[in-house]
Amino acid sequence: MASARRIGAPDAKNRVVLLDAAEQLLIEEGYAAVTSRRVAEKAGLKPQLVHYYFRTMDDLFLEIFRRYADLGMEAHQYALASPQPLWALWRFGINPEASRLTMEMAALANHRKALRAEMSRYAEVFREQQRQAFVTALERHGALPNEVPPVVWSILLTGLSTVVMLGEALGVTAGHAETLDLVERFLTQIEGPPQSVGDSAHQWRSEQSAPLAPEFSATTTPSTASTQ
> What residues make up the domain containing 204?
57-212
**Which one has a higher pLDDT value, 199 or 45?**
45
Q: Which residues neighbour 193 within 8 Å (Cβ) at sequence distance 6 or greater?
A: 199, 200
Question: Is pLDDT above 80 for 56?
Answer: yes
Residues 22 and 117 in one domain: no
Residues 70 and 120 in one domain: yes
122-134 pLDDT tens trace: 989 888 888 888 8
Write down the pLDDT at residue 94: 83
The closest alpha carbon to 78, from 222, 210, 226, belongs to 210
84-124 pLDDT tens trace: 888 888 888 887 767 788 888 988 999 899 999 999 999 89
In a domain, 4, yes or no: no
The closest alpha carbon to 102, from 31, 152, 151, 153, belongs to 31
Task: Report the mean per-residue pLDDT for the chain.
Answer: 78
Write down the pLDDT at residue 212: 28
Residues 84 and 120 in one domain: yes
pLDDT above 90: percentage of residues in the chain: 35
Q: Do residues 165 and 183 make contact, with C-beta atoms less than 8 angstroms apart?
A: no
Distance CA 114, CA 66 (A): 12
Write down the pLDDT at residue 91: 85
CATH number for the domain spanning 36: value is: 1.10.10.60
Number of domains present in the structure of the chain: 2
Residues 128 and 23 in one domain: no
